[in-house]
Amino acid sequence: MINLEDKISACILRLRRKTPFFGSLALFLEQVLDEQVPTACTDGWEVRFNPRFVESLAPAELDAVMIHEILHAALLHIPRLQERDPHLWNVAADIVVNGIIRKQDGLQLPLNPCMDATLENYEVEEVYDILIKRGAPKTITWIGADLLLGSEGEGLSESRKQDMETHWKQAWHQAVALSQSFGHGSIPQEVLRHMQSITDPLLDWRSLLWRFMVRTPVDFTEFDRRLIGRGLYLESLSGETVSVRIAVDTSGSIDAKDLSQFLAEVREILRLYPHLDAQLFYADSALHGPFDLDEESLTKPVGGGGTSFVPFFERMDEEMDSGGNTVLIYLTDGEGTFPKQPPALPVLWVVTPGGVDSRRFPFGTVARLISHQSSHYP
Protein backbone atom coordinates (compact mmCIF):
# COMPACT_ATOMS: atom_id res chain seq x y z
CA MET A 1 0.00 0.00 0.00
CA ILE A 2 1.24 3.50 -0.86
CA ASN A 3 2.41 5.61 2.05
CA LEU A 4 0.64 8.88 1.30
CA GLU A 5 2.91 11.00 3.50
CA ASP A 6 5.86 9.69 1.47
CA LYS A 7 4.00 10.46 -1.76
CA ILE A 8 3.50 14.07 -0.67
CA SER A 9 7.14 14.32 0.49
CA ALA A 10 8.27 13.00 -2.89
CA CYS A 11 6.16 15.72 -4.54
CA ILE A 12 7.91 18.44 -2.53
CA LEU A 13 11.32 16.97 -3.40
CA ARG A 14 10.43 16.96 -7.12
CA LEU A 15 9.38 20.59 -6.93
CA ARG A 16 12.60 21.58 -5.15
CA ARG A 17 14.64 19.79 -7.80
CA LYS A 18 12.73 20.79 -10.96
CA THR A 19 11.29 24.17 -9.94
CA PRO A 20 13.22 25.57 -6.96
CA PHE A 21 10.92 28.59 -6.85
CA PHE A 22 7.78 26.54 -6.18
CA GLY A 23 9.74 24.14 -4.00
CA SER A 24 10.81 27.02 -1.77
CA LEU A 25 7.26 28.34 -1.49
CA ALA A 26 6.09 24.85 -0.49
CA LEU A 27 8.22 25.08 2.64
CA PHE A 28 5.99 27.92 3.87
CA LEU A 29 2.85 25.79 3.71
CA GLU A 30 2.22 22.74 5.86
CA GLN A 31 0.77 19.67 4.11
CA VAL A 32 -1.95 17.73 5.99
CA LEU A 33 -4.04 14.64 5.15
CA ASP A 34 -7.70 15.18 5.99
CA GLU A 35 -10.54 12.81 5.13
CA GLN A 36 -13.08 15.61 5.72
CA VAL A 37 -12.09 17.59 2.62
CA PRO A 38 -13.36 16.39 -0.80
CA THR A 39 -10.08 16.79 -2.71
CA ALA A 40 -7.59 19.51 -1.73
CA CYS A 41 -7.88 22.99 -0.20
CA THR A 42 -5.91 25.66 1.63
CA ASP A 43 -6.52 28.21 4.36
CA GLY A 44 -3.35 30.14 3.48
CA TRP A 45 -1.29 28.40 6.16
CA GLU A 46 -1.59 24.74 5.19
CA VAL A 47 -2.76 22.50 2.36
CA ARG A 48 -5.25 19.80 3.26
CA PHE A 49 -5.49 16.71 1.03
CA ASN A 50 -8.10 14.00 0.97
CA PRO A 51 -6.09 10.72 1.19
CA ARG A 52 -8.10 8.96 -1.54
CA PHE A 53 -7.62 11.95 -3.82
CA VAL A 54 -3.85 11.89 -3.29
CA GLU A 55 -3.79 8.16 -3.93
CA SER A 56 -5.60 8.62 -7.26
CA LEU A 57 -3.12 11.16 -8.67
CA ALA A 58 -0.13 10.52 -10.89
CA PRO A 59 3.08 12.34 -9.88
CA ALA A 60 2.65 15.09 -12.51
CA GLU A 61 -0.95 15.60 -11.35
CA LEU A 62 -0.04 15.78 -7.67
CA ASP A 63 2.69 18.30 -8.48
CA ALA A 64 0.14 20.44 -10.33
CA VAL A 65 -2.40 20.28 -7.49
CA MET A 66 0.30 21.14 -4.95
CA ILE A 67 1.38 24.20 -6.95
CA HIS A 68 -2.27 25.15 -7.42
CA GLU A 69 -2.81 25.32 -3.65
CA ILE A 70 0.58 26.95 -3.04
CA LEU A 71 -0.30 29.74 -5.46
CA HIS A 72 -3.68 30.31 -3.85
CA ALA A 73 -1.91 30.80 -0.53
CA ALA A 74 1.11 32.75 -1.81
CA LEU A 75 -0.99 35.10 -3.93
CA LEU A 76 -3.10 35.86 -0.85
CA HIS A 77 -6.34 34.80 -2.50
CA ILE A 78 -7.96 34.36 0.90
CA PRO A 79 -7.33 37.82 2.43
CA ARG A 80 -7.90 39.48 -0.95
CA LEU A 81 -11.49 38.17 -1.00
CA GLN A 82 -12.74 41.09 1.11
CA GLU A 83 -16.56 41.17 0.82
CA ARG A 84 -16.89 39.49 -2.56
CA ASP A 85 -18.95 36.40 -3.26
CA PRO A 86 -16.71 33.51 -2.11
CA HIS A 87 -17.85 31.01 -4.74
CA LEU A 88 -17.24 33.23 -7.75
CA TRP A 89 -14.00 34.47 -6.15
CA ASN A 90 -12.83 30.85 -6.01
CA VAL A 91 -13.61 30.44 -9.72
CA ALA A 92 -11.64 33.60 -10.54
CA ALA A 93 -8.69 32.48 -8.40
CA ASP A 94 -8.69 29.03 -10.05
CA ILE A 95 -8.59 30.63 -13.50
CA VAL A 96 -5.51 32.65 -12.49
CA VAL A 97 -3.50 29.84 -10.90
CA ASN A 98 -4.43 27.21 -13.48
CA GLY A 99 -3.37 29.65 -16.18
CA ILE A 100 0.07 29.82 -14.56
CA ILE A 101 0.30 26.04 -14.18
CA ARG A 102 -0.65 25.17 -17.74
CA LYS A 103 2.35 27.14 -19.02
CA GLN A 104 4.83 25.12 -16.93
CA ASP A 105 6.50 21.99 -18.29
CA GLY A 106 6.01 18.63 -16.59
CA LEU A 107 2.71 19.46 -14.87
CA GLN A 108 -0.69 17.96 -15.59
CA LEU A 109 -3.88 19.31 -14.09
CA PRO A 110 -6.22 16.41 -13.25
CA LEU A 111 -9.97 16.14 -13.76
CA ASN A 112 -11.63 19.04 -15.61
CA PRO A 113 -9.66 22.12 -14.58
CA CYS A 114 -11.34 25.51 -14.34
CA MET A 115 -9.57 27.51 -17.08
CA ASP A 116 -10.16 30.51 -19.33
CA ALA A 117 -7.28 31.53 -21.56
CA THR A 118 -8.89 34.92 -22.23
CA LEU A 119 -8.85 35.83 -18.52
CA GLU A 120 -5.89 34.06 -16.95
CA ASN A 121 -3.41 36.91 -17.42
CA TYR A 122 -5.46 39.39 -15.40
CA GLU A 123 -5.28 39.83 -11.64
CA VAL A 124 -7.88 37.87 -9.70
CA GLU A 125 -9.90 41.00 -8.80
CA GLU A 126 -10.22 41.86 -12.47
CA VAL A 127 -11.16 38.29 -13.43
CA TYR A 128 -13.86 38.38 -10.75
CA ASP A 129 -15.31 41.63 -12.09
CA ILE A 130 -15.35 40.26 -15.64
CA LEU A 131 -17.15 37.12 -14.46
CA ILE A 132 -19.69 39.30 -12.67
CA LYS A 133 -20.26 41.18 -15.91
CA ARG A 134 -20.70 37.91 -17.82
CA GLY A 135 -23.23 36.61 -15.34
CA ALA A 136 -21.10 33.52 -14.73
CA PRO A 137 -22.57 30.44 -12.99
CA LYS A 138 -21.83 29.70 -9.35
CA THR A 139 -20.52 26.20 -9.93
CA ILE A 140 -16.84 25.31 -9.64
CA THR A 141 -16.20 22.52 -12.11
CA TRP A 142 -12.78 21.36 -10.97
CA ILE A 143 -11.76 20.03 -7.55
CA GLY A 144 -14.41 22.08 -5.79
CA ALA A 145 -14.23 25.12 -3.53
CA ASP A 146 -10.64 24.93 -2.30
CA LEU A 147 -10.28 28.25 -0.46
CA LEU A 148 -11.02 27.88 3.25
CA LEU A 149 -12.25 31.32 4.22
CA GLY A 150 -12.57 31.04 8.00
CA SER A 151 -14.81 29.22 10.41
CA GLU A 152 -18.54 29.48 9.71
CA GLY A 153 -18.00 32.14 7.05
CA GLU A 154 -16.51 34.64 9.50
CA GLY A 155 -13.41 35.18 7.40
CA LEU A 156 -10.05 36.39 8.68
CA SER A 157 -9.51 39.00 11.35
CA GLU A 158 -7.45 42.02 10.35
CA SER A 159 -4.53 40.84 12.47
CA ARG A 160 -4.57 37.41 10.82
CA LYS A 161 -4.69 39.02 7.40
CA GLN A 162 -1.65 41.10 8.28
CA ASP A 163 0.19 38.05 9.60
CA MET A 164 -0.58 36.14 6.40
CA GLU A 165 0.57 39.00 4.17
CA THR A 166 3.85 39.28 6.10
CA HIS A 167 4.37 35.51 5.98
CA TRP A 168 3.97 35.27 2.22
CA LYS A 169 5.93 38.39 1.40
CA GLN A 170 8.86 36.78 3.22
CA ALA A 171 8.21 33.59 1.30
CA TRP A 172 8.31 35.43 -2.04
CA HIS A 173 11.66 37.05 -1.20
CA GLN A 174 13.18 33.74 -0.11
CA ALA A 175 11.87 31.89 -3.14
CA VAL A 176 13.26 34.54 -5.50
CA ALA A 177 16.68 34.45 -3.79
CA LEU A 178 16.80 30.65 -3.97
CA SER A 179 15.74 30.59 -7.62
CA GLN A 180 18.35 33.17 -8.57
CA SER A 181 21.02 31.01 -7.00
CA PHE A 182 20.04 28.27 -9.47
CA GLY A 183 20.52 30.56 -12.45
CA HIS A 184 18.64 33.11 -14.53
CA GLY A 185 15.21 32.23 -15.84
CA SER A 186 14.14 29.78 -13.15
CA ILE A 187 11.22 32.00 -12.04
CA PRO A 188 8.22 31.75 -14.39
CA GLN A 189 7.42 35.12 -15.95
CA GLU A 190 3.71 34.62 -15.25
CA VAL A 191 4.51 34.32 -11.55
CA LEU A 192 6.72 37.40 -11.52
CA ARG A 193 3.87 39.45 -12.95
CA HIS A 194 1.40 38.24 -10.34
CA MET A 195 3.98 38.77 -7.58
CA GLN A 196 3.61 42.50 -8.12
CA SER A 197 0.06 42.29 -6.75
CA ILE A 198 1.62 41.14 -3.45
CA THR A 199 4.77 43.25 -3.27
CA ASP A 200 3.10 46.32 -4.87
CA PRO A 201 -0.64 45.99 -4.20
CA LEU A 202 -3.32 47.52 -6.38
CA LEU A 203 -4.34 51.00 -5.27
CA ASP A 204 -7.78 52.47 -5.62
CA TRP A 205 -7.56 54.85 -8.58
CA ARG A 206 -8.83 57.71 -6.42
CA SER A 207 -5.81 57.19 -4.15
CA LEU A 208 -3.57 57.44 -7.20
CA LEU A 209 -5.40 60.58 -8.27
CA TRP A 210 -4.70 62.13 -4.91
CA ARG A 211 -1.00 61.41 -5.29
CA PHE A 212 -1.09 63.42 -8.50
CA MET A 213 -2.95 66.29 -6.91
CA VAL A 214 -0.86 66.64 -3.75
CA ARG A 215 2.57 67.87 -4.75
CA THR A 216 4.35 67.12 -1.47
CA PRO A 217 2.24 64.55 0.41
CA VAL A 218 4.79 64.09 3.19
CA ASP A 219 4.19 67.70 4.21
CA PHE A 220 0.51 67.11 5.01
CA THR A 221 -0.63 65.83 8.39
CA GLU A 222 -4.37 66.37 8.05
CA PHE A 223 -6.37 63.42 6.71
CA ASP A 224 -9.76 63.56 5.11
CA ARG A 225 -11.88 61.64 7.62
CA ARG A 226 -14.61 60.91 5.08
CA LEU A 227 -12.34 58.36 3.42
CA ILE A 228 -10.96 56.52 6.44
CA GLY A 229 -13.89 54.11 6.58
CA ARG A 230 -13.21 53.21 2.94
CA GLY A 231 -9.56 52.43 3.60
CA LEU A 232 -8.38 55.51 1.69
CA TYR A 233 -6.05 57.60 3.81
CA LEU A 234 -5.75 60.59 1.52
CA GLU A 235 -4.15 63.86 2.50
CA SER A 236 -6.35 66.96 2.57
CA LEU A 237 -5.71 69.60 -0.03
CA SER A 238 -5.91 72.28 2.66
CA GLY A 239 -7.73 74.67 0.33
CA GLU A 240 -5.37 74.29 -2.61
CA THR A 241 -7.12 74.52 -5.99
CA VAL A 242 -6.54 71.60 -8.31
CA SER A 243 -7.62 71.41 -11.94
CA VAL A 244 -8.90 68.05 -13.15
CA ARG A 245 -9.91 67.34 -16.73
CA ILE A 246 -11.83 64.08 -17.11
CA ALA A 247 -12.35 62.26 -20.40
CA VAL A 248 -14.91 59.45 -20.45
CA ASP A 249 -14.60 56.98 -23.33
CA THR A 250 -17.99 56.73 -25.04
CA SER A 251 -16.84 54.79 -28.11
CA GLY A 252 -18.62 51.74 -29.46
CA SER A 253 -16.39 49.34 -27.48
CA ILE A 254 -17.75 50.70 -24.19
CA ASP A 255 -20.98 48.98 -23.24
CA ALA A 256 -23.72 50.37 -21.00
CA LYS A 257 -22.32 48.72 -17.85
CA ASP A 258 -18.82 50.12 -18.42
CA LEU A 259 -20.18 53.60 -19.08
CA SER A 260 -22.39 53.44 -16.00
CA GLN A 261 -19.36 52.47 -13.90
CA PHE A 262 -17.29 55.31 -15.37
CA LEU A 263 -19.96 57.86 -14.50
CA ALA A 264 -20.41 56.41 -11.02
CA GLU A 265 -16.69 56.88 -10.38
CA VAL A 266 -16.87 60.49 -11.56
CA ARG A 267 -19.86 61.14 -9.31
CA GLU A 268 -18.06 59.69 -6.31
CA ILE A 269 -14.89 61.75 -6.60
CA LEU A 270 -16.98 64.89 -7.07
CA ARG A 271 -19.16 64.03 -4.09
CA LEU A 272 -16.12 63.64 -1.88
CA TYR A 273 -14.28 66.68 -3.22
CA PRO A 274 -16.73 69.23 -4.68
CA HIS A 275 -14.13 72.03 -4.55
CA LEU A 276 -12.13 70.57 -7.46
CA ASP A 277 -11.85 72.71 -10.58
CA ALA A 278 -13.12 69.97 -12.87
CA GLN A 279 -14.44 69.68 -16.40
CA LEU A 280 -15.93 66.67 -18.18
CA PHE A 281 -15.37 65.54 -21.76
CA TYR A 282 -16.90 62.65 -23.66
CA ALA A 283 -14.68 61.11 -26.31
CA ASP A 284 -14.96 58.57 -29.10
CA SER A 285 -13.14 59.39 -32.36
CA ALA A 286 -14.03 63.04 -31.65
CA LEU A 287 -14.05 65.13 -28.49
CA HIS A 288 -17.31 66.40 -27.01
CA GLY A 289 -17.34 69.11 -24.39
CA PRO A 290 -16.30 70.50 -22.04
CA PHE A 291 -19.34 70.02 -19.83
CA ASP A 292 -19.91 71.29 -16.35
CA LEU A 293 -19.80 68.49 -13.86
CA ASP A 294 -23.44 68.36 -12.92
CA GLU A 295 -26.08 65.65 -12.93
CA GLU A 296 -27.45 66.74 -16.30
CA SER A 297 -24.06 66.27 -17.99
CA LEU A 298 -23.57 62.89 -16.31
CA THR A 299 -26.89 61.58 -17.59
CA LYS A 300 -26.43 62.62 -21.22
CA PRO A 301 -23.17 61.07 -22.50
CA VAL A 302 -22.27 61.73 -26.13
CA GLY A 303 -20.50 59.31 -28.46
CA GLY A 304 -20.79 55.82 -29.90
CA GLY A 305 -18.22 55.94 -32.71
CA GLY A 306 -14.63 54.75 -33.02
CA THR A 307 -11.89 55.44 -30.48
CA SER A 308 -9.07 57.96 -30.65
CA PHE A 309 -7.33 59.42 -27.61
CA VAL A 310 -5.64 62.07 -29.76
CA PRO A 311 -8.33 64.83 -29.75
CA PHE A 312 -8.49 65.04 -25.94
CA PHE A 313 -4.74 65.33 -25.46
CA GLU A 314 -4.35 67.79 -28.33
CA ARG A 315 -7.03 69.96 -26.74
CA MET A 316 -5.35 69.79 -23.35
CA ASP A 317 -1.96 70.71 -24.79
CA GLU A 318 -3.56 73.75 -26.44
CA GLU A 319 -5.49 74.96 -23.40
CA MET A 320 -3.61 74.00 -20.26
CA ASP A 321 -0.51 75.44 -18.64
CA SER A 322 1.90 72.57 -17.97
CA GLY A 323 3.21 74.43 -14.95
CA GLY A 324 -0.18 74.45 -13.21
CA ASN A 325 -1.52 71.95 -10.73
CA THR A 326 -3.53 70.01 -13.31
CA VAL A 327 -4.10 66.32 -13.88
CA LEU A 328 -5.78 64.55 -16.78
CA ILE A 329 -7.96 61.49 -16.20
CA TYR A 330 -9.07 59.18 -18.99
CA LEU A 331 -11.62 56.45 -18.21
CA THR A 332 -11.44 53.85 -20.99
CA ASP A 333 -10.93 50.24 -22.02
CA GLY A 334 -7.67 51.27 -23.71
CA GLU A 335 -8.76 50.25 -27.21
CA GLY A 336 -7.91 53.18 -29.43
CA THR A 337 -5.31 55.35 -31.12
CA PHE A 338 -2.74 57.03 -28.86
CA PRO A 339 -1.01 60.32 -29.68
CA LYS A 340 2.55 60.00 -30.96
CA GLN A 341 3.86 62.40 -28.31
CA PRO A 342 2.92 62.26 -24.62
CA PRO A 343 1.17 65.32 -23.21
CA ALA A 344 2.98 67.79 -20.98
CA LEU A 345 0.50 67.22 -18.14
CA PRO A 346 0.34 64.16 -15.87
CA VAL A 347 -2.11 61.50 -17.01
CA LEU A 348 -4.02 58.88 -15.06
CA TRP A 349 -5.66 56.13 -17.13
CA VAL A 350 -8.55 54.34 -15.41
CA VAL A 351 -9.10 51.08 -17.28
CA THR A 352 -12.11 48.76 -17.26
CA PRO A 353 -11.83 45.12 -16.12
CA GLY A 354 -10.65 43.19 -19.16
CA GLY A 355 -9.28 46.32 -20.83
CA VAL A 356 -5.96 46.63 -22.63
CA ASP A 357 -2.90 45.37 -20.76
CA SER A 358 -1.37 48.16 -18.68
CA ARG A 359 1.99 47.70 -20.38
CA ARG A 360 0.50 48.78 -23.72
CA PHE A 361 -0.19 52.34 -22.57
CA PRO A 362 2.69 54.45 -23.95
CA PHE A 363 2.57 57.10 -21.20
CA GLY A 364 0.91 57.99 -17.93
CA THR A 365 -0.03 55.94 -14.88
CA VAL A 366 -2.49 53.08 -15.37
CA ALA A 367 -5.00 52.05 -12.71
CA ARG A 368 -7.32 49.09 -13.13
CA LEU A 369 -10.94 49.83 -12.26
CA ILE A 370 -11.44 47.05 -9.71
CA SER A 371 -14.49 46.56 -7.52
CA HIS A 372 -13.61 46.55 -3.79
CA GLN A 373 -17.12 46.20 -2.46
CA SER A 374 -19.37 43.19 -2.07
CA SER A 375 -20.65 41.97 -5.41
CA HIS A 376 -23.17 39.20 -5.89
CA TYR A 377 -24.25 37.68 -9.13
CA PRO A 378 -27.50 36.13 -10.27
Question: pLDDT tens-digit profile of 254-267?
Answer: 988 889 889 888 88
Residue, of 198 and 293, whose pLDDT is higher? 293
CATH 3.40.50.410 residue ranges for the chain = 205-368
- pTM equals 0.72
What residues contact residue 282 under an 8 Å CB cut-off, 6+ apart? 247, 248, 250, 288, 289, 291, 301, 302, 303
- Answer for the pair 371, 129: CB distance below 8 angstroms, yes or no: yes
pLDDT digits (tens, 9 = 90+) for 330-377: 999 999 999 999 998 889 999 998 899 888 999 998 888 876 544 443
pLDDT digits (tens, 9 = 90+) for 56-101: 999 999 999 999 999 999 999 999 998 888 889 999 999 999 999 9
Encode 256-285: b = buried (16+ Cβ within 10 Å), e = exposed: eebbebbbebbeebbeebeebebbbbbbbb
Ranges assigned E (strand) in the chain? 30-33, 40-42, 46-49, 243-249, 277-283, 287-291, 326-332, 347-351, 365-368
- What is the H or E stretch that residue 6 is in? helix 4-18
pLDDT in tens, 110-145: 888 888 999 998 989 999 999 988 876 656 666 678
CATH 3.30.420.40 is right for the domain spanning 205-368: no
In this structure, of 134-143, 167-176, 279-288, the range with the lowest mean pLDDT score is 134-143
